[in-house]
Structure formats: C-alpha cells, structure tokens
Structure 1
Amino acid sequence: MGRGELGRSEVERYKLLMDSCVSNIQRKIIGKSREIQLILATLFSQGHVLLEGVPGTAKTLLAKTLAVTLGLDFKRIQATPDLLPSDILGVNIYDPATGGFMFRKGPVFTNILLFDEVNRAPPKTQAALLEAMQERQVTVEGVTYRLPEPFLVIATMNPVETEGTFPLPEAQVDRFLARIVIGYPSIEETVEMLKKYDDISVLDDLKPVLDRNTVIELTGLSKKIYVDENVLKYIAGIVEATRRHPMVKLGASPRGAIALLLLSRSLALIHGRSYVTPDDVKQVAHAALSHRVILRSEARLSKLTPESIIDEVLDKVEPP
C-alpha cells in the first residue's frame, strides 16, 4: 500500500494524545492497557467490538470510561429475550399537534453503544443491530436515517451462562472487526482496585481528553499508515495458514485478512509510527481472528482453542 503521508512530528503528537487517552481510562480501569488499545484501534478502524468476559470484569465501566475520555455520546442497552428491533432503532409515533407521525430515535443513534449480553436478544433483534453496524444507517418504514459518526458498538457476551440465550451464528460473529476477551485481574491489580474502589466507582471527576472531531481525524489518519507489500503477504500467509490447519474446520475469511490490516494500521498509529510492523500484526491477531476460526470436534476434545491455533500459526508463518 502507498507510502504513508504522516510526518514524524505529526505522528509523535498523536502518540502523546493516545498515551493520554490510555492513562485517563486507566484512572478507572486498573491495568488492561492491551485491551484498551485494541478497542481504540477498532474505533479508528471504523469497526465494532465483541467483548467477552465473566460478570464483574468491568466491561460496562470500560465502555463508559472510554466514551467520557473521547468526548463522545454513550448509550447502553441491556439485551433481554423480549427486546424488539424498534427498541434499538426507534419508532414512528403519532404527533397530535401536527396530525402526522414523527420518528423517535432509538438508542442506536449515539457514538458509543454498549449492547450488554447481545446473545440474550432474539435473532431478529440481533440482525437489526448487525445491519445498523454494517450499513451505519437504519431504515424505518421506508425512510433511511444515517447514524452519527463516529459509531462504535461494544457488544458483550457472558461465556458462562447459556440458558435463555440465542447464540450468534458464526456469520454474524464475523461481522465484528475484533473479539476481545476480558480476563480476571492479577492479584496485584485486584489489590490496587480495592484500594481505589471509592475513586474508580464514579466518573464525575473524569474529563475528556479528545473530542468528536479529533476522533474522526484519527480515523482518517489510520488510513495513511504505510503497509509494505511484504507485510501484506505476511497477513495473507497467516490467514491462509488458519485454513490449512488440520484441526480447523473453517479458517479465517477474507474479512479476517481485512481485520488484520485495519487493526494493525490503527495500532501502529496508537504506538506512534507511520508504518506497520509484523509485531503490530501479531498483537492484533487474536482479536482479529479468534472468532473467525471454527475448530473441528476433535480439536475441542484435545482442549485446543482458536487462540492456541493462532499461536501455532504465528510460530509457523515467517515474518518479513
């Protein structure tokens, strides 16, 4: 891809902004710098995040803190089995004053939408959300409404509870640019969280570091990050290797290769570089590919995971 147009001083300035963003978020979120950077990279890549983790790992707090730090609007939806598409998108209501109908926008009309426990929503509602994510617009009774920019969906899933859920089909999961697993904190991080609990449990003292226009500017700048052809071949080789692995039933789709490209470009920008390195690709590989690799039944019996398969692939494919 073409040589990046970003100057050194410009890149360094944005790195300082990114460092300030991560530091501001970590005032409320102990640790998790890798996960924070991946979510920011997804936002600047104009994608969406599937956030997985057991209850109580600060997924909601992370989304709220991110929105405040970036100076963006935030809304939250708690998925339930009776949730309707209109509860997300909006609905036309009768206006007695005019004798006509007016469109009342749903919570999807925001910058950062947290969709809690997306697998508890019925398939029809899941499909309505994914259409809005893909098209960045909603159509109600023949009228199309554009969603605001930037627009990021952070959908959470609880990997433990399956009762009363509607699992997302693989083709729909593939629509998420990144899948990020939020694990338990370390002992040291837990102690730090307990010490600061009274401070981190409220967001009133948190101030924005960026604003909407700067976020949009960063989204455009990520497209100027230089990607050498050898790095592109490296990305293609990783994706192809997932398809050839003997324990993989379905390897990463072409969308997986695009996810590797977009996330590695944005991560390079966050790290203060105008070009992508093989290490950038490795750092985003799990987030870009783990939900796009479907294992054979014998792989599960051997206790293999998509992450372990990706690690094998990264060890096998030679970086440039």
Structure 2
Amino acid sequence: MILVVGGAGYIGSHLVKELVEYKEVIVLDNLSTGHEELMDSRVRFVKGNLGDRLILDQLFSENSIDAVMHFAANSLVGESVLDPYKYYNNNVSNTLTLLDAMLKHGVKNFIFSSTAATYGIPETELITEETVTKPINPYGRSKLMIEQILDDFHQAYGLNYVVLRYFNAAGAHVSGEIGENHDPETHLIPIVLEQLLGKRESISVFGTEYDTHDGTCIRDYIHVTDLANAHILSLNALLKGKLQKATYNLGNGKGYSVKEIIDTCEKVTGVKANVIHSDRRPGDPATLVASSEKIYRELGWKAENELEDIIESAWKWHKSCVTKTKK
C-alpha cells in the first residue's frame, strides 16, 4: 500500500490515477489547493494535514504502508517571498513531522516532489543534477532543505529516497477526466488556453529580446503523465531494492519558447491569441532546460509527449470544464 500526501492536487492526482492500476493507494490531502472530486473511486481518501501527527500515526498504525510519495508542498514562488513562514512551516516543518512518523512506524521508502527552483538562476543552459543549487526564493530553499534532510536521514536512519526535480509540468490526463486547475492560475499553457476560451482578455509576454531564436524565454515543459510514470518507475526501483537514494531531473531536454507555446496553442485550438508584449521580469533567465539523461540511463525513463500532445490534452480538459460549467 502506498500513501500519497497531496494526492488531490494537480500532479498528485495524475500520479494516483496511474498508480491505482498497480497498487493500493491512500491519499492524504487537506484540500487547500486539491480537489477531492479528482480522486479515483478505488482510492481511500483522508482529509487532513501533512503535519497532523495524530492522523499520521493512525494511518501508519492501521495500514501496511510500503512507501510514501510527497506532493503536499506550497509551491507559488511569489507567495513564498511575501509569506516565507507559510513555506518553511508546511514545506519543511510539516515534512519533518511526516518523516518522523514514517521512521517511527518502520516505513523507509520515500519519493519527494522537488523542483527546478532549487537551482535558482544557473549559469548553464542545460541543467544536470550536478549543476550547483542556489535557490533564490523561500520556495526553492524549502525544497532544497528537505533534499539535504533526506540525505542526512538516509545516512543516520536508513531512509531510502528518490528526489524528483520537476521543471514545468503541463497537460492533462488522456481521459480528459482530470487536469490543471489552479486558483490563481500562474502557468503559461493554461493561461493561454483560458484566453483562447474567452476567460481572459489577453496574454502578457514578458520580454521579446532575449538571446533565443525568437527573442522569448525558453523553458522545459513536460507532460504531467510523463511525470507520473517517472514516479512509478522510481517507486518500483525503491521497493525492489534497486535504489537506496537518488536525485533526478525530469524534463524534455530541449525546451520551448513562450512564442512557440502560444503558436502551438493557436494551432491546436484554431483560435488567434490576443498577445500583449510587456517588459522583462527581473531575474528571468533566457533559457532553462533540463537534462534527464541520468534517469534515462538508470531507470529507462524519458518524456514521451511532445508539445502538441501536451497542449491537445490540456485543451480537451479545459473545454470539458467549460461544458460542465454550462450544464
């Protein structure tokens, strides 16, 4: 049995939808940003907080849990700057409570949802796991702290773990049943699709004179189902004893520019976007792309979905939401 904390959120729910085909799953989520309606009927759902020790002890005492997968972080960069206590309290303190409860109950396999924000603004365009980590905001620092704690816990207590550093998760499940639903929405692809659906007046492009092939920033986008599959491969490697600790980047290895994202959204939807060009945002590097060579070499994982696949799945999801709203 696998405990997924934060399993009702965007990435967590997509992982759960794939994982229930192989394992029994319990989801713990406080629904602060998650959605219970995204849960598969085969999942046992528990509403509760990551840092609630009573709930954690009950879950571990009453169930034979083999591993924990952690998606329950606060993850808005701007908010983390304005309210760092919230991020250190939930992302660090509450995660420590979870880890302590795991160890008390003899559960020693852990998969951690980390982030490219641990790298800060790297000096290299292609980011590997060896790239220096210099987070520039409380969100990135909170994630890196847990990565360092996991290594210490591995050495001291025998905790086995896999850290997965995401870049830009995007897209929706092929079924169209679940997808990206943030409030507020801060991710580029859903913002563009919302504008094409008439939910926004315009799309702002921040900077058009970067040193890239079309002048706009390039970022690494990865389909959320590809992310889910990386988690399942990592979980199996832990449970079979093939890994004791590992850190992997998850990306497509090439990246797409802001203009390419908008152009592809227009191609998929057949709708012309209303684009407004704005000044650069401070601290935005021209290119951030991940090398996922390490996880391919060690676990055989690579991103299978191209940009058009990502946007087609997201468009299917967003259109279904409009249909449901009209009903």
TM-score by length of 1: 0.29
Bigger RCO of structures 1 and 2 (CA < 8 A, at least 6 apart): 1
Which TM-score applies when normalising by structure 2? 0.29
Larger radius of gyration: 1
Q: Kindly indicate which of the two structures has a greater share of residues assigned to helix.
A: 1
